[in-house]
Each structure stands twice: as structure tokens, then as C-alpha cells.
Structure 1
Amino acid sequence: MKKAVIIPARYASSRLPGKPLRLLKGKPLVQYAYEIAKNTSAHIVLVATDDKRILEAVKSFGGEAVLTSSDHPSGSDRVAEVVRDMEVDVVVNLQCDEPLLQPQLIDALFEAFKNQKVEIATLIGPLSQEEWIDPNVVKVVRDKEGFALYFSRAPIPYPRDGGGVKEGLYWRHIGVYAYRKETLLKITSLPPSPLELEEKLEQLRFLENGFKIFTVPSIYRSPSVDTEDDLRKVIELLP
């Protein structure tokens, strides 16, 4: 199985402009993502960006990067452009917003594709009570085989009889995806779906079109960086 990790890096992030180049202890977020990817079993690691500043930054730390179109509506579309003519079986889409992600979790995603039923896989992690009510934290519920039933910014599942978040039932989505190449090309050819547009979650396009998403649990708490406040919190967690 030929494996690739592609890191889509867009400069014009709405909530944190210039996010891939924002520094954590002197190192840009895109470099954290690249180093995580290089510590996996991936045969190919590549940054896909529409901005020459990011391209030059990646080259400055010895990484590989390519320029892509600036018209892509999502990271998956940018990844699809890069892998379309690439000889690869499984592709991981690793954003620049998970600087504390453990490399073995990416290998766990690759491992999931030994199951021929898996076309798309993603990571999930523990969910706190505070995160459960936070619309910036995406929640996921899944079936008995580990496939996602739904993703939402709303607090799901909802405990009608009260009580707090229950371990093993309440999950936070970690926005790292893996796909079989042919599946990635199919889903990125589809138009945005109604639920995707309503919740602003691209994975709902996959579910609405009948694609199943396998979820790989993580025991690690890996905070993502989407806002200035997130950036400050992650800096405090770095060694």
C-alpha cells in the first residue's frame, strides 16, 4: 500500500489569518505538521499551498511543497488536486492546526485501510463537558462498528434524562482524514451538500452522498489551533 500525507496550507484562514506561518516557540505551524508526517510510515509527505510565502517557508526548513489553485473550497479539494496524477493508494489530509498530534495516530489511520470496507477514515478523541457545548468543537456519534453516524457543532448525543458527558459515547472529532485515492477524487467532484452548508462541515457531504467514514479513537487530548486563544493554550502545553 503506497501511502501519502498531504498538508493543505491556506494563508487566508478566516479565524486565524496566516495560520500555517504562525509561530509556536519560533517554529511555524506548517513545520509542526510536516515533522509529524515525516515521523509516520508515509512514503510521500508534501505541503500543498496557494501562497508563495508558505511555499518558501517550507523550503526553508527542508520540506517539499507545491503551489495549487487558490479556488478550492476545502482542504480535501486541494489535496485531490495534488494526488490526482500521483501513484498512491491511501492519502492522509493533515491540516496545520494539530501541532501536538501523535504520529502513531496517522499510522493508525493507514492501518484502518487493511479493512476493505473502509473508504474514508478520521480521528476522534475524548470530549469534555465544556467542549460538548462549544460550537467550535465538532462532535461525532458512531455505530457499533465504529462508522460515523453524524457530525455536528451541536451538543450530540443529547442526554434527555440529564447527566454529564459519558466516556466512550461522547466523542470529539479530530479533523485529520484519510481516504483511498479513488474515493477522494469522487467526493471532491460532488457539489456541496445541504447539511455541509448548514453546519459548515465538509464531512457531511460524504455522509449525505452515502460514503461511510470509519472513526479511529485516540486516547490523547490534542487541542487544535483555530483562534488566537487556541494558539495561546497550545503554547502553554508545548515543552
Structure 2
Amino acid sequence: MFVLGQKVCFADVKHPCYKMAYFHELSSRVSFQEARLACETEGGVLLSLENEDEQKLIESMLQNLTKPGTGISDGDFWIGLLRSGDGQTSGACPDLYQWSDGSSSQFRNWYTDEPSCGSEKCVVMYHQPTANPGLGGPYLYQWNDDRCNMKHNYICKYEPEIQPTDPVEKPFLTNQPGGTHESVVVTEAGESYLCVLMSQLKNCALNQCFMLTPGKPFMWFKDVVL
């Protein structure tokens, strides 16, 4: 589901776009630094979240991908928050977390009793839909600090001002009558991808791309409503 260097998710002049890199095979998941490098190689950054609205947007995208049998399942996602300095036992530890893209956003969405600090300097967004709820409720979408060498999925963000340096072939677009999205199949260097263009969220045009293994059937998301 992931090919390093492929530029398949581009923002428009006003809105960012997001790429969920989810790996069914655990051996394909990556460390924080690997995820960060993958996003930056494609002209993006590891996800930073500016406010609750953006958090809810990402949650909605993940919910639409969680389909029995064909969609994503358990597997946390790296986001671009990490701790600077030591502060392992300091009460100020939560204040030491900063966004790797330089964002000054103070928005946080920690799970109950997180961050636990210690040797856990990097941050994931929980995505454990089959896990039993904990003290803070389901392990879904709230944040947890983790060791940076752990292997997870990740989410990239592409800001409006970032433009691709390498062109892709002109995509083939199909409109879905009565739906709230367009599907876009992009082919580049023999690799195939499916993009879902969200168009009815607070009148903003947002897009979301998912890399698919060549030769496998495309995932199809019908009547996506956020």
C-alpha cells in the first residue's frame, strides 16, 4: 500500500489534503522517523492538527475507511507531535511536545492519563476499534505517546502552498450521481491509487488518497457523507 516517493495527494490553493498510509501487514508498518521521511519525500509533513475541527475531520475520514472485511482495522497512526528535551518525570513534560512541521498549534487530544512520558517521545493517534474500552473510553482517535522506534501506520498532510515537483499522469475522474464525492484513479509509473475527493464539508474541497497494492481490487467508498 505504500511506495516511497510517489506523489499522489496534492492540495489545492486553499485547502490541505491528507493521506492515510495504512498497512494490513504488520511488517510493513514504520517508525516515527520513517513515517516523517516518507511524508517529507512526497512534499508533505507528518500530520499536525490545528484545532478540534481538523481532528474531527480526520476521525471522519478514518471512520469511512473502517469497513468490515475490506477496510482498515486495528493499527495506530503516527502524527507529527514529539517531545523535545528529556523531562521524563517532570510535571512540565506535556508542555514539551511540539509539532515536527513547526506548527504553533496548542491543540491536544490526549487519551486519559496520557502522555505517560518516560522514554515515549513520539505520538500516535489511537485506532483500535476491536479493543475493549479503557478508563478513557474506546481507543479511538485520542492520542498516546509511544517509543519512536515502534511500528505504526501514519498520516501525511499536504499544505495548500506545497506544490508537487514531479507531474503525474492526468487522472481519470468519474462522478457519482447523488453522492458526495468523486473517485479518482491515478496511475503513475505502473502503480495505481484511489483518491476520494471530499466536497461537502463546510463547503470546503478536501481530498484524501489511499495507496493500493497493484493488482488488487480498488476499494470503493459509496455515498461518503461527513
Q: What's the TM-score, normalizing by structure 1?
A: 0.24
Q: What's the TM-score, normalizing by structure 2?
A: 0.25
Q: Which has the higher helix share?
A: 1
Q: Which has the higher strand share?
A: 2
Q: Which has the higher contact order (CA 8 A, sep 6+)?
A: 2
